[in-house]
Amino acid sequence: MYTAPLSKIDPLIQKPFFSSAEARSLGVHPSLLAYYCKTGALEKIGRGLYRESGRAFNVPIEWEDLAIAVLSIPDGVVCLSTALSFYELTEEHVREFWIAVPREKWPPKRPHSRIIRMSNMELGKTEIILGEVRIPIFDQERSIVDAFRFLSIETALFALKRYLKGEGGVKPDIKKLKQYAAAQRTDLEKYIMALTL
């Protein structure tokens, strides 16, 4: 059983998980984190990521790894194929989590994650609630526009087609989609016209 008090990191253990950088900002040396892990007070759940031992991470099991990845990356936002998968706008099996960060950031690497640096990060940024955590994610319209910018044309067209049919669970907002496309300098007009005739 551990003997060192957890009081130094008490603000952090109230969270589903925390990073070694957050602990360091409270004056907690990495060796103390290692000690807490050795004695069973903390559990290491990833590179530089910890949580209180026995703490339930109340997120649906299929999204737990995604939640850990995106929340451990400063300013990270779920995007592209991962967002399309969440909105059921793709049938592709997502093998890695796509996470956007601001263009000027150099985030830490995370397992099974593909980091992409983007501009205009506030455009279409929203949140979803998974269990006890809020996950930043781009909305359907931003995800579709970005699909045309970064993914294959087949993937982008499939997502747009499903979106326009309302298969993502939300009524399509073509005006918003066009505004986002203009903001991202992406011409979707011909595709929207072809799929709505």
Rg (CA), the chain: 20
Question: Domain count of the chain?
Answer: 2
Residue 13 lies in a domain: yes
* Bigger pLDDT: 30 vs 154: 154
Per-residue pLDDT of 2-61, as tens digits, reads 445 677 788 888 777 788 888 888 888 888 899 988 988 888 887 788 888 877 767 777
Q: Is the pLDDT of residue 187 over 90?
A: yes
* 42 and 70 share one domain: no
Q: What integer pLDDT is reported at residue 81 of this predicted model? A: 96
Q: What integer pLDDT is reported at residue 5 of this predicted model? A: 61
Q: What tokens does 187 get?
A: 């011409």
* 177 and 82 share one domain: yes
Residue 102 lies in a domain: yes
- Complete edge-to-edge strand list for the sheet that includes strand 49-52: 18-19, 49-52, 42-46
Query: What is the reported pTM?
Result: 0.80
Read off the pLDDT of each residue in 154-180 and give the average, rounded to a whole number: 91
* 42 and 77 share one domain: no
Cβ distance 32 to 4 under 8 Å? yes
Q: What is the C-alpha separation between 144 and 174, in angstroms, rounded?
A: 11
Q: What integer pLDDT is reported at residue 3 of this predicted model? A: 46
* 40 and 84 share one domain: no
Q: Which domain holds residue 13?
A: 7-52
Q: What is the C-alpha separation between 169 and 155, in angstroms, rounded?
A: 18
* 47 and 98 share one domain: no
* 19 and 89 share one domain: no
* 118 and 162 share one domain: yes
Q: What is the largest CA-CA distance in the chain?
A: 70
* 72 and 138 share one domain: yes
Residue 1 lies in a domain: no
Q: What is the C-alpha separation between 80 and 98, in angstroms, rounded?
A: 6
* 126 and 174 share one domain: yes
* 140 and 164 share one domain: yes
Residue 175 lies in a domain: yes
Per-residue pLDDT of 72-109, as tens digits, reads 888 899 999 999 999 999 998 878 999 999 999 887 77
Per-residue pLDDT of 101-143, as tens digits, reads 999 988 777 778 899 999 999 999 999 988 778 899 999 999 9
* 84 and 129 share one domain: yes
Per-residue pLDDT of 55-70, as tens digits, reads 776 777 778 888 888 8
Q: What integer pLDDT is reported at residue 2 of this predicted model? A: 44
Cβ distance 133 to 67 under 8 Å? yes
E strands within 53-158?
77-78, 97-102, 113-118, 125-130, 133-138
* 16 and 75 share one domain: no
Q: What is the C-alpha separation between 50 and 36, in angstroms, rounded?
A: 10
Of 160, 169, 120, 119, give the one whose Cα is nearest residue 141: 160
